[in-house]
């Protein structure tokens, strides 16, 4: 049993490690501006302004994340301030209708992401139960370990 738990932990760890993709923040900022142009119907002037805002935001975020002298709480406060700064800048560039559409798109994305993640967690446990022929008691233990792991990861 102990070996299977170690195996399970290593499997989760390796999955998380290999799932991490490093994307250049400036590249992501450009793609985000392109998506906003399409979804919100930005004109060229708005697009250039939004792209500049996104790139500036990405540079500042990278700087905060790489600063190892800051405490977790300080980083959180800095990131929140940067988010508010970006939102203020976007409000100056976007029309009210475009800003409402942006907020609705973000809300939809959060909802979809939450549902997708819940589905993945459930699918993972079901797959383990089938492939390893786990009993109900073992399945419950796996669920609790998985839940505890996710909580620790979020900390």
Q: pLDDT for 137-151, tens place per residue?
A: 888 888 888 778 777
Evaluated on CA atoms 107, 109, 112, 113, the torsion sign reads negative
Higher pLDDT, 148 or 56: 56
CA count, 13 A, side-chain hemisphere, 60: 16
Give me the residue spans of the domains in the chain.
24-94, 96-155
- Spatial CA neighbour of 132 closest among 3, 41, 30: 3
Of 31-40, 64-73, 82-91, 137-146, least confident by mean pLDDT is: 137-146
State how far Cα 76 lies from the chain centre. 15
d(CA 94, CA 54): 13
Residue 18 has pLDDT above 70, yes or no: no
- Rounded to 5, what percent of the chain is helix, strand, coil? 85, 0, 15
What is residue 20's predicted lDDT score, i.e. its pLDDT? 57
């Amino acid at each position: 049993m102990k070996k299977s738990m170690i195996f399970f932990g290593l499997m989760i760890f390796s999955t998380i490690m290999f799932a991490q993709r490093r994307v250049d923040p400036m590249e992501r900022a450009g793609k985000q501006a392109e998506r906003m142009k399409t979804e919100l119907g930005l004109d060229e002037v708005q697009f250039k302004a939004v792209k500049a805002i996104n790139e500036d935001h990405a540079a500042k975020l990278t700087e905060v994340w790489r600063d190892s002298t800051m405490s977790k709480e300080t980083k959180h406060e800095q990131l929140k301030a940067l988010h508010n700064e970006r939102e203020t800048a976007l409000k100056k560039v976007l029309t009210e209708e475009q800003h409402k559409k942006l907020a609705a798109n973000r809300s939809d994305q959060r909802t979809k992401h939450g549902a997708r993640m819940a589905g993945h967690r459930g699918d993972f446990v079901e797959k383990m139960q089938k492939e390893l022929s786990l009993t109900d008691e073992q399945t419950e233990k796996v669920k609790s370990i998985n839940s505890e792991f996710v909580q620790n990861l979020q900390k």
